[in-house]
Structure 1
């Protein structure tokens, strides 16, 4: 019930704001990206629905290994559904990092990571242009007017949505995503020194996330993620 309410409140907040121009987290207009993405705006990529219960086929082990070699002792996490994933982790030559949980510090191995997760779809009734606008709203830099509108909407929401929405806005304010040029209908990337790269991709009504960490170089990991995403998108060509 809470998940349903949260989703409804989130959609309300997004659709009550003008999506505006696509921008990177630094606020630079990315017109070139928008032009390339619009070439794909007429495709639904509904064929990817065939893979929602088979993440092992959505992005296969062989496809990953063709882009970057998996470790000999790589461990796999595989499950299906909207919160499914097909992710490999293996030892790296990087030192462990320190993580604090409940005021306790612990050393965590800095593992290599590569895979895909969270394949989901906008409704078949959703206009593809609207899907792009809604998707971008989750990652682009929000204008003062958009933030003010979201805050105004929160003030009108019920207590549960207001609490969850307020927490969401705090997380959203700390997020830093960069627009990725020429991939799917829209794509955004962010980097974490601890957890690596996260590439979110919208292809028509389908969206999914690629995870990569094979070095401490954000650009190298972004390029790897793009190659993996292209293999997923190519399944509908």
Structure 2
């Protein structure tokens, strides 16, 4: 439980840093173990993690995991309106991402803004990390009030330098370098964890993909677990979440074919 709290709090802090620095039997979404996933996984151990060495090798080369050709073929977009960005806010490659951005002039809504505006289309591959099936099922489900409070408490510990977690300490160091005060982190982080609670209501199981997979209808993010390693794909290329999901699944299958 402590690691889950710290991970959630560190994710909030990473989002604060990213925003400031660039002005992310079948009970898949519950606490129970997905038995089908255990049967289909190579280890047959719901607590095993880190066995997919192929995926882990891509932590230092996210841009090679999904090629330009893969993304263009899956989206149908033109290279003429494409740019790429490798985000490495923190040193740990588990927090890195490679993003394909397309300026197609799509009109869409941004959370917190009522009117529509031009938004870029994007595809991102990110967050490759060792993870057990048990942790996967615990992580991608609707957050309870107790979990949100625990994440807030952990965030306060990070801001006060009492976390004892290396990634969290590094994130706090980055915050200080960007002149972000700990009071600002606590205030902003508290608001963001409330947002994360609402986002967590959007998790939906995806059958037949990897050992386990989950799509979020709010954030257009696909989470896939294969042989003890998790990766994420974000596809925000349409106002239709089903189209976003379809493209994300296609891209995830490409990744899985490289690292079965």
Q: Which TM-score applies when normalising by structure 1? A: 0.67
Q: 1:67 to 1:99 in 2, by over 3 A?
A: closer
Q: Distance in 1 between matches of 2:205 and 2:105?
A: 30
Tell me whether 1:110 sits opposite 2:96 in the alignment.
no
Tell me whether 1:95 sits opposite 2:107 in the alignment.
yes
In structure 1, the partner of 2:216 is: 190
Tell me whether 1:221 sits opposite 2:239 in the alignment.
no
In structure 2, the partner of 1:137 is: 138
Q: Distance in 1 between matches of 2:110 and 2:52?
A: 41
Tell me whether 1:39 sits opposite 2:40 in the alignment.
yes
In structure 2, the partner of 1:84 is: 96
Candidates 6, 10, 31, aligned match of 1:10: 6
Displacement after TM superposition at 1:106 (Å): 9.3
Q: Give the gaps of 5 or more residues in structure 1.
A: 1-5, 12-19, 123-130
Displacement after TM superposition at 1:189 (Å): 0.9
Aligned 8 A contact 2:108 2:239 in 1 = no
> 4+ residue runs of structure 1 moved beyond 4 angstroms?
6-9, 98-101, 105-108, 150-154, 156-159, 161-169
Displacement after TM superposition at 1:203 (Å): 1.5
Matches within 5 A, 1:149-188: 160=157, 170-174=194-198, 175=200, 176-188=202-214
218-227 or 199-208: bigger deviation:
199-208
Aligned 8 A contact 2:6 2:155 in 1 = no
Matches within 5 A, 1:59-78: 59-71=66-78, 72-78=80-86
Deviation sequence 1:29-63 (CA, Å, 0-9, x none):
999x7525640252832211211111111111122
In structure 2, the partner of 1:22 is: 27
Q: Distance in 2 between matches of 1:186 and 1:92?
A: 33
In structure 2, the partner of 1:128 is: none
Displacement after TM superposition at 1:21 (Å): 6.3
Q: Which TM-score applies when normalising by structure 2? A: 0.62
Q: Distance in 2 between matches of 1:91 and 1:121?
A: 34
Kindly tell me the number of residue pairs found equivalent between the two proteins: 204
Tell me whether 1:200 sits opposite 2:223 in the alignment.
yes
Displacement after TM superposition at 1:214 (Å): 2.3
